Amino acid sequence: MRIIGGKLKGRKIHTSKEGTYRPTTGMIKEATFNILASGQFLDPSTGSSVIEGATIIDLFGGTGNLSFEALSRGASKAIIIDKDSLHIDLLRYNADKLGVANDVMILRTDSTRLPDAITKCSIAFIDPPFNKSLVNECVKSLVNKKWLSDKAFLVIRTHVKDEYDISNFCELLFSRKYGKSLLSVYAIQRDKIS
């Protein structure tokens, strides 16, 4: 697995055969970042991607695939959440090898029961295990624990048959199927997080 764009393009993200993560495929990762660098996701005042300078939070971080890609493409900080100790070790190893350890905060905790926010994040990546019905609880936790800025985007990847309803918190901006995956991008509703 490698970083596909930005200043770290081509650098390897190490994996482990013992891990229980499900890495985002190169095709879906590329689609995700192309979407965030186009159209309604461009900053109207600068024309730059919403990734530029963003603080992101990555739930179910696994190898850190999405976080390290975001940092490579201009994000300023990544907070990576995972509850598996093997994944935590792998995340620390990858952050060190890629030279971004100072830009990464790794928290070992349940993505559906987050601690109180340390900072506000403008992009949340939610890529849970398929068919576990975890999205609703993740979004509630992000909102209730104050992790999201009032202009935050949520990038959610689920199985096409997974069902969730976060319309109380977010507005759907984009949704597309990629094989068995559904990639959706939402904008937080400001009045729901204050």
Q: Which domains does the chain have, with CATH numbers?
A: 49-192 (3.40.50.150)
pLDDT digits (tens, 9 = 90+) for 137-165: 999 999 999 999 988 999 999 999 999 99
pLDDT digits (tens, 9 = 90+) for 116-136: 999 999 999 999 988 889 999
Burial class (CB in 10 A: 0-12, 13-18, 19+), 92: middle
Question: Which comes out higher in pLDDT, residue 17 or 104?
Answer: 104
Question: Which comes out higher in pLDDT, residue 1 or 182?
Answer: 182
pLDDT reading at 93 higher than 80: yes
Helix (DSSP H) and strand (DSSP E) numbers for the chain:
4, 7
Count of CA atoms in the C-beta half-sphere (13 A) of 101: 9
For residue 22, the model assigns a pLDDT of 58
For residue 19, the model assigns a pLDDT of 56
Count of CA atoms in the C-beta half-sphere (13 A) of 18: 7
Q: What is the pTM of this model?
A: 0.93
For residue 10, the model assigns a pLDDT of 93
Q: What are the tokens at 182?
A: 């559904």
Mean pLDDT of 176-193: 87
Mean pLDDT of 40-59: 88
Question: Which comes out higher in pLDDT, residue 16 or 152?
Answer: 152
For residue 11, the model assigns a pLDDT of 95
